[in-house]
Amino acid sequence: MSLIDARGLSRTFTVYKRSGRLTRTRTEVHAVHDLDLAIEAGEMVGYIGPNGAGKSTTIKMLTGILVPTAGHLRVAGVDPSRKRRSLAHRIGVVFGQRTTLWWDLPLRDSFELLQKIYRVPPDRFRTNLAEFVELLDLGDLLDTPVRQLSLGQRMRGDITASLLHDPEILYLDEPTIGLDVVSKGRLREFLRALNAERGTTLLLTTHDLQDIEALCRRVVVIDHGTKVFDGPLSELHRQGGSTRTLVVDLVDEAPPIAVEGATTRRVEGPRQWLAFPADASAAPLVAAITATYNVADLSIQEPDIEDVIRELYTAG
Amino acid sequence: MGELLTPLVRYYEISALWVRASTTYRASFWMLTIGGFVLTGVDFVGIWILFHTVVSLGGFSLREVAFLYGGTGLAIALADMFVGRIERLGSMIRLGKLDTMMVRPVPLLIQVCADEFALRRIARVLQALVVFGWASAYVEWSPAKIAMATSMVVSGSVIFFALFIAFACLQFWTADSAEVANAFTYGGNTLTSYPLTVFPGEVVKALTFVLPLAFVNWYPSLYILGRDDPFGFPAWTQVLSPVVAVLMAGVAALVWRTGVRHYRSTGS
């Protein structure tokens, strides 16, 4: 059996809306609807979708926080909402937008409290802590209260906190949200190593396609509570017909650039926007353009996750 | 027994860390504790002053009233100290703190109650203990009465534990119901600080059958103070407190479990 095994998983919320002075109407919102998901041990899966698609609701069901309305769900062989506490030993959860650490306690105390909560053997705790502090560069921050940490520092603290008890599965809900490019890169590097060296299964929700590109061979896309794609990233780009954009700043204004493998979408003075397939390399394109035009500057815009999903719909 | 003790050990470990964290600011800790002691102390002074103009209150002397006051005061102070944090359940839900607690291997109720455990709440326990101790000095103690007093404090605390928890669970459904809970817990404490003979019979019936706060101090105290029941309830009601406490704890546990299973979390 798969490590995570969901079949027909659904969660409905009943919402009451005021419709008059005293009356209210009852509506059912299907946050997650009839979701099938099987994830094997050791996989790194990107779970993506627009806001309100049902990503967090899924994670909350997988961790046992929310009770599913319908469907079959087993994580590490148990029903999460009924065996929440025993499952807790085997999973780690990082909520990107909020901390699981204690606001007023120094990082060190938070970690120590977690050691007690998870009953981590002292020597195991020391080795793990030393390793994560080293890898995530937390050494100077251990005595700082969490409220004084920057977002990136706090995220590193949160990730350490979620891993001290050697979980088999790590759920990351928007782990790179609000981080700068350097922090994002380091975090991805760390997660990749974690998966490779410890075999930790990773399920991450994100808005950032680069997270997926850097980490996940497999992508699951959810929209309006339903799974709309499950497969490798390259396949998603192909199916969604997603494009990257090459922004070209010419020295002088020019008519739209005509070059093979790309279409000019927009021209604004000397600046032009060229769309090309996301799975194609930008190098030949850049070479072709610089051979014929006087180029002042170039930059590449990655496809936006919302665009990919929108195009996935219009294409399908 | 181990099943029962483990959560308590976890409670102790979590709260101990909070105590250690808060006592790093020693001056502030002592100021808050002494402040709390004085503030709650003023409460009883009110009753004391009352007795300068009256000889008895509902047929009870100052020392007897002090015994009742101390009995319920001790029960609610202990409940407030150990489970009082549950009042913050609504904000824990809003801030997503409950979500993070739910993915940890310690019973959720233990985590909620031990969260940011504040030792300074002991001020209220001490104040109640002083009043109770003073009143106790005038009781003619016997082994049976000592057993009854012990049972009274333990059962009374458990009854208030249960009330705190059950009413806090309303916050699973409506976020801003903390005040409703206060009306019953602290309101109930105020009622039971006086001999119930000052109230109409309906109040006593309500405090016996509906919201059984009379079992916190009133019935066991009647036994300890050697009084006949002024409302004519049979003498065996005076030993019922532990039974009521167990029942209330059962109800609270049921409400809590239902609340957790209906928990909807927040948007993100």
Per-residue model confidence as pLDDT tens digits over B132-179: 999 999 999 999 999 999 999 999 999 999 999 999 999 988 867 778
Residues A234 and A247 in one domain: no
Per CB-CB distance under 8 Å, the chain A contacts of B10 are 116-117
Residues A260 and A219 in one domain: no
Per CB-CB distance under 8 Å, the chain B contacts of A157 are none
CA distance A233 to A219: 6
Stretch B262-268: mean pLDDT: 75
CB A216 within 8 A of CB A233: yes
Query: Does B14 sit within 8 Å of A116, measured CB to CB?
Result: yes
Residues A170 and A274 in one domain: no
Range of the domain at B202: 2-261
Q: What's the pLDDT at A261?
A: 83
% of chain A surpassing 90 pLDDT: 43
- Flag the least confident range among A38-47, A186-195, A261-270, B230-239: A261-270
Q: Is residue B243 part of a domain?
A: yes
Query: Does B264 sit within 8 Å of A66, measured CB to CB?
Result: yes
Residues A216 and A307 in one domain: no
Residues A233 and A270 in one domain: no
Per CB-CB distance under 8 Å, the chain A contacts of B110 are none
Question: ipTM of the predicted structure?
Answer: 0.81
Residues A207 and A156 in one domain: yes
Q: Is residue B267 part of a domain?
A: no
Query: Does A84 sit within 8 Å of B103, measured CB to CB?
Result: yes
CA distance B165 to B248: 10
CA distance B201 to A248: 88
The CATH number linked to A188 is: 3.40.50.300
Q: Is residue B268 part of a domain?
A: no
Which chain A residue has its CA at the smallest distance from B24's CA? A105
Q: Could you give phi then psi for residue B147, rounded to 5 degrees?
A: -60, -40
Between B267 and A87, the more confident residue is A87
Which of B95, B103, B107 is closest, CB to CB, to A65?
B103
Token code pair at residue B205:
């019936």
The CATH number linked to A306 is: 3.30.70
pLDDT band, residue A206 (cuts 50/70/90): confident
Q: Could you give phi then psi for residue A38, rounded to 5 degrees?
A: -125, 120
Range of the domain at A308: 242-315
Q: What's the pLDDT at A275?
A: 87
Our count of domains for chain A comes to 2
Condensed to tens digits (0 to 9), the pLDDT of residues B1-55 reads 556 788 888 899 888 888 887 766 677 778 888 888 888 888 888 889 989 999 8
Q: Is residue B266 part of a domain?
A: no
Number of residues that make up chain A: 316
pLDDT band, residue A227 (cuts 50/70/90): very high
Which chain A residue has its CA at the smallest distance from B262's CA? A67
Our count of domains for chain B comes to 1
Stretch A206-215: mean pLDDT: 84
Q: What is the pTM of this model?
A: 0.84
Amino acid B254 reads L
Q: What is the DSSP string of B159-198?
A: HHHHHHHHHHGGGGT-TT-HHHHHHHHHHHHHHHTS-GGG
Which of A86, A95, A119 is closest, CB to CB, to B99?
A95
Which chain B residue has its CA at the smallest distance from A56's CA? B268
Q: What's the pLDDT at B1?
A: 52
Residues A170 and A295 in one domain: no
Residue B94 to chain A, least CA–CA distance (Å): 11
Which of B21, B100, B104 is closest, CB to CB, to A95?
B100
Q: What's the pLDDT at B140?
A: 92
Q: What's the pLDDT at A43?
A: 94
Q: Where are the alpha helices (DSSP H) in chain A?
A: 55-62, 84-88, 107-118, 122-135, 151-163, 181-198, 209-215, 233-240, 283-292, 305-315
Residue A66 to chain B, least CA–CA distance (Å): 7
Which of B14, B100, B261 is closest, CB to CB, to A100?
B100
- Asked if pLDDT for residue A1 goes beyond 90, the answer is no
Residue A133 C-beta-side C-alpha neighbours within 13 Å: 14
State the DSSP H helix or E strand holding residue A121, giving kind and residue range, or none if neither: none
Residues A125 and A256 in one domain: no
Decide if B96 touches A, using CB distance below 8 A.
yes
CA distance B118 to B123: 10
Residues A78 and A172 in one domain: yes
Last residue of a domain, one of A238, A267, A285: A238
Residues A35 and A172 in one domain: yes
Residue B102 to chain A, least CA–CA distance (Å): 6
Decide if B25 touches A, using CB distance below 8 A.
no
